[in-house]
Structures are given as structure tokens and as C-alpha cells.
Amino acid sequence: MMKSEEYANKVVLVTGASRGIGYAIAEAFARQGYSLVGTATSHAGVEKITALCERYQINGTGLRMDVGSIQSIEEGMALITQDYGAPTILINNAAVVRDNLLLRMREDEWRTVMQTNLDAIYYLSKAVLKGMAKARWGRIVNISSVVARTGHAGQVNYAAAKAGMEGFTRSLASEMASRGITANAVAPGFIQTDMTQSLSELQREAILNNVPLKRLGQPQEVAAAVMFLASSEAAYITGATIPVNGGLMMG
């Protein structure tokens, strides 16, 4: 089978594909000719992903899904399976921040981050496993963060969710290894997206002082690590977390 045919036969689901890192990941899959479903929460986001699929002339679409809602995940998964077949590559990328010092953190700020960033990977991963087990091949790549290990003031919710995600990834990797399904994480440092747009000049300078490569990363540089983990060539890598952080945290 030609590589392009192999890619077209694989259905990829990327959550939060409307912007930033998720969009770069979706574009990397589209460029290689995979069948692609990318999710967004807004109509404009869905249109943007559908336009991406059209631009690369691939089988794929944007799909409205709120990963913080079980009902929305279930409805979305039913549509994907009906129209495209079971995804064998899942990229859990969608996430939100609700930063606050713990002393001031409201319960809704804690809950929203836990639901969107951690609960969602439970529901989505569970939903794709049957199809992957049937295909005896699957790739789950979870987008974590450097703060899962370093922690960050004002982000107890976000850091806890990302650290949870990494533990989830390692346990799932052990459970599914015998079926040809790998689960890995990619932990970006500071990447130029809407999420880091709100940093003040002072914060940006402080961050760059600690980054040996002296710049923010680009979404495409995170996508490159994701593409490798999602490939057949990465079959012997599972339960790993690949850092993409300009040297911000080594080892």
C-alpha cells in the first residue's frame, strides 16, 4: 500500500483544532492526506477546519464539540463513527486556563479546568479504544504542559489536570500495549498562541530568560512531535512524554 493510501485510511480526531497548536496539528495531518475530524466550540471554528480540509483536498471536516460536556462528546463521536468510521488516532489537545492563586480560586475555575482538560480525555479515550482494539492499531497523543512537572503559581488547577493527564497516559499505555495501541504525551513549554498572548512584556521577558533557545516555540514545532508519535514508525514508544520547550526544563 502506498503511504498516501495508508494515511487516507486512517481517521484522525483532533480536539480544539480551530486555533493555535490544535490547528497546526490538524494542518500537519491534512498535509499528509489523513482523514481528519477537527473539533471547535464555535461555528466559525468549525468552518475554519472544514476549509482546511477542502484546501488540502482530504476527507474530513470541522465538528462542533464541547469536550467539557459528556453529551456533546457522545453526540460528536456518534457522528464521526457514522460518517468517517472509528478514529484510530486521537489527539487530545483542547484545553482552557482559568488562572488564579489557590487562595482566590473559585470552585467553578477549578471544575471548568478539570472537566475540559482532564475529564475529557477519560471520555474521549474510552470512546475510541474499541475501534482501535478492533483495528489492532491505535495512537493516542495527549497535549500536556511543562507545568505538569514544574508547577506554576496561579495554575494549581491547570498543573493538576496536566499532571493527571500524564499519569493517565502512562497507565493507559500499559493497559493497551498488547493491542498495538500506544499512548503518549507531548509537553510544550511556552508556545506562541492565544493562550500565551495575554502574557505581559515583563512575564514574557522572565520566561525567555529561562529558555536556552531564547524564543517562544511555534505551534508547528509541537505538531512535529505529535506527528512522529502518531506515525507507524513510533510503534516502540509508549507511555512517554516528549518535551517541546526550547530547553526550559531538561531531563
Give me the active site residues, please. 158
| Residue 95 within binding range of ligand NAP, rule CB under 6 A | yes
Choice between 39 and 169, CB closer to ligand NAP = 39
Residues with Cβ within 8 Å of 210's Cβ and at least 6 positions away in sequence, in order, are 248
Choice between 40 and 52, CB closer to ligand NAP = 40
Window contacting ligand NAP (CB under 6 A); options: 5-13, 29-37, 77-85, 192-200: 192-200
Long-range contacts of 154-157 (CB under 8 A, 24+ apart): 154/99, 154/100, 154/101, 155/97, 155/99, 156/102, 156/105, 157/98, 157/105, 157/109, 157/110, 157/113, 157/114
Residues with Cβ within 8 Å of 125's Cβ and at least 6 positions away in sequence, in order, are 90, 92, 140, 168, 172, 183
Given a contact cutoff of 8 angstroms between Cβ atoms, the answer to whether 225 and 242 are in contact is yes
Identify the residue among 14, 58, 63, 65 touching ligand NAP (CB under 6 A).
65
| Residue 108 within binding range of ligand NAP, rule CB under 6 A | no
Choice between 135 and 227, CB closer to ligand NAP = 227
Choice between 135 and 242, CB closer to ligand NAP = 242
Identify the residue among 143, 159, 227, 242 touching ligand NAP (CB under 6 A).
143
Residues with Cβ within 8 Å of 181's Cβ and at least 6 positions away in sequence, in order, are 129, 132, 133, 137, 138, 139, 140
Would you give the distance in Å from CA 35 to the centre of its chain? 17
Integer distance in angstroms from the first to the last C-alpha of the chain?
A: 39
Window contacting ligand NAP (CB under 6 A); options: 79-87, 188-196, 200-208, 235-243: 188-196
Please give the grid coordinates belonging to residue 62: 470541522
| Residue 191 within binding range of ligand NAP, rule CB under 6 A | yes
Distance CA(148)–CA(10), nearest Å, equals 30
| Residue 203 within binding range of ligand NAP, rule CB under 6 A | no
Identify the residue among 193, 225, 227, 243 touching ligand NAP (CB under 6 A).
193
| Residue 19 within binding range of ligand NAP, rule CB under 6 A | yes
Choice between 65 and 176, CB closer to ligand NAP = 65
| Residue 89 within binding range of ligand NAP, rule CB under 6 A | no
Footprint of ligand NAP on this chain (CB under 6 A)?
15-16, 18-22, 39-42, 45, 65-68, 93-96, 116, 143, 145, 188, 190-191, 193-196
